[in-house]
Amino acid sequence: MRLQFPKLNLPFPSLKIKEVDSNLEVWDIVRQKYIILTPEEWVRQHWIHLLYHSYGYPIGLMRVEKLAKSLSTRGLRFDMICCNRQGENLILLELKAPHIPLNDQVLMQAMEYDSAPLIILSNGMEHLLYQWDMKRGAYEKAEKLPHFELLR
């Protein structure tokens, strides 16, 4: 089995990967099942492990590929959301395959989904963090992702 995915600009996680019918599948610790390993999934799995192991976000408070409440009539799914213990959105992640550039269109796509105080855009190589500015009523670029314990 040979991985055909690039080394990302994220810490390399310990992933369970297996080959099934000439497809690679990865164990998703959030969904508790094997998922076909696409380039976008490669990025998502890196983020799941980074948020859990380095930033303290509980696995049970992560949501992956769920219908966005605000857009459920259109059938749109967000890539990933981290919630607080009350079930409120903390971070919305819009994840792309490594070859997809991050631009204003990607940010606009993320802003269409359920709102969250923080938005992360990432293709695994580049990462952009935005925080909601209540005074301006808009998302502003932010520098540092807070640890889960600081967002409660």
How does pLDDT run across 84-134, given as a tens digit for each residue? Answer: 999 999 999 999 999 999 999 998 888 887 689 999 999 999 999 999 998
Token pair belonging to 136 = 């301006």
Look at the block and give the residue holding tokens 């998302």.
Answer: 139
Determine contact, residues 53/62, Cβ cutoff 8 Å.
Answer: no
Global pTM reads 0.91
DSSP class of residue 8 equals: P
Across the beta sheet with 23-28, the strand order is 17-20, 23-28, 33-36
Closest by Cα among 55, 58, 43 to 12? 43
